[in-house]
Chains A and B, each alone.
Chain A
Amino acid sequence: MTTISPVKTVKESKPKEQNSPKKSVYLTKQLNLWYGDKHALKNIDLDIKEHEVTAIIGPSGCGKSTYIKTLNRMVELVPSVKTSGEILYRERNIFDANYGVEELRTKVGMVFQKPNPFPKSIYDNVAYGPRIHGIKNKKILDEIVEKSLRGAAIWDEVKDRLNENAYSISGGQQQRICIARALAIEPDVILMDEPTSALDPISTLKIEELVQELKKDYSIIIVTHNMQQAARISDKTAFFLNGEVIEYDDTDVIFSNPSDKRTEDYISGRFG
């Protein structure tokens, strides 16, 4: 197992890791990113494993959202962004000139901070991804829509109102529609950028339970400003500060026995 300094990655001493070594889904090597002159990400090295929930925590402005948006290259929508280094997704550098962003984003779904359904029916929202990728057959679309809505644990709530506008349901339901919409393209990875920050506690709980279900079939990377949430749902946690990865380890290690003083200060609520 390759361990990239200076960040601690998976500990090889753990027996369960040795029995079934998980493959890397995202391997970030010496990633730097600038917004104009602002150095937003500094020498990031991270090895993210498949079928795990990886949480990214840190105070506002630490680069956690920037990092997750780099993973599907959405960050490049901001003008004047420059990057260096590599991000290998399934052993292929996503910055390669011949790696199309559309291709990458078909494998890597994203759920955003604020629920952002399209002003269309619930059905058309979920069918959007398959349709842009060329599926026209109504029967197949029906199946995808049902499967995705079931996957996002919202089928029972909306099955009788698929033709209603997606804005007619509650914010928490909208966010699960957005998750279903991401599932509909049958991705490999799901990126979640503070998916519950705009939701009430009950909707948050539902999304958290859903994340636990989804990790059986998908690799999930979740940015959260809520440390309890990271502790509850993630297998690994990366702590970002000022554009650097301070510590990356198993979640229970980060929250019970962090090796860096700054991590300890942050999780114990001394700053941030």
Chain B
Amino acid sequence: MRYVDHDLVVKRMGGRKIVNYLFKGLFMLATTIALLALAILLYRIVTQGAGNLSWEFLNNFASRFPEKAGIKAALIGSLWLMAVVAPTSIILGVGSAIYLEEYAKKNRMTAFIRTNISNLAGVPSVVFGLLGLTIFVRALSLGNSVLAAGFTMSLLILPVIIVAAQEAIRAVPNELRDASLGMGATKWQTIVRIILPAAIPGILTGSILALSRAIGETAPLIVIGVPVIIQFLPSGVMDTFTALPMQIYDWSSRPQQEFQAVAAAGIIVLMAVLLTMNSIAALIRNKFQKRY
């Protein structure tokens, strides 16, 4: 007796194929909707804002008059912010990841810490804003300076960087650690000479993506009290400043119709910055393709 009735299989084949095509169509539809939404968004922003894009727009400070309004203070302010966030968050994040992956004993305590770092990555950014307001702005009296905002943003993206760096470090095969330790290398030599070079593409990719999140965040800056109308550039990390998403938020909340177009131009600038950062991340990922 045979268990698989081949005649029956042939008879039912039609129905199975229909289901097969049905799901293919369903998933294609899902992708199309997502892409369409994105395309409409991009189209509206570009048609609205492109007219306002000019050298003057990039080189002017904020203004009451839409035709004179520029994004210089916000663009430079965002760069200042990144100058604080990038080193702070990458040094702390990679350091924590190395400790958790290479040094910390694998027990319940560290498992608990690991899980909660991932949970921390899901905490709403406005909560980090409140934390920054309490600790950096008030307790440490940093005011609404580049430094206070930078530290707050660093805390916000720290969990993302730690998790990305942990995954990159964990992806380095144990055989390489064994080979290095087996030759009498110390743990530190193994980390610096073998593990970090092998993990650096993953660490950088994750860090840049995290930084591009920080550059687009608005909520923590609002809570900290970052101003919008600023007619000067910060000359140091203790100066006050404004950032791209703050400026865009301000413009888009103004009643005059003309400012909507200015906001759209601001969004184009912000997206250009984000796309540049993401392309750098992709470039790094491709250049250092893992060879093991």
| Interface of A toward B, CB cutoff 8 Å | 72, 74, 77, 79, 101-106, 109-110, 112, 114, 116-120, 128-129, 131-133, 165, 167, 178, 181-182, 185
Contact = CB atoms under 8 A, between A and B. Distances in A.
Contacts, number: 73
Interface residues of B, number: 23
A132 B189 contact: yes
Given A112-B175, A118-B194, A119-B290, A77 B181 contact: yes
Nearest to B179: A116
Main secondary structure of the interface of B (DSSP, over half): helix
B181 A74 contact: yes
Interface string B67-79: 0000000000000
Interface in B167-185: 173, 175-185
28 contacts: A72-B182, A74-B182, A77-B181, A102-B186, A104-B184, A109-B182, A109-B183, A112-B178, A112-B182, A114-B175, A116-B173, A116-B176, A116-B178, A118-B194, A119-B176, A119-B292, A120-B197, A128-B180, A128-B183, A129-B184, A132-B184, A132-B189, A132-B193, A165-B291, A167-B291, A167-B292, A181-B183, A185-B183
Contacts of A105: 181-184
B183 A132 contact: yes
A37 to B, nearest CB: 17
Nearest to A165: B291
A77 B175 CA distance: 12
A101 B181 CA distance: 9
Contacts of A112: 175, 178-179, 182
B213 interface: no
A119 B105 contact: no
A131 B177 CA distance: 16
B281 interface: no
A182 B183 contact: yes
Contacts of A133: 184
B175 A116 contact: yes
B173 A106 contact: no
A133 B183 CA distance: 9
Contact of A128 (B186, B193, B290): B193
B182 A110 contact: yes
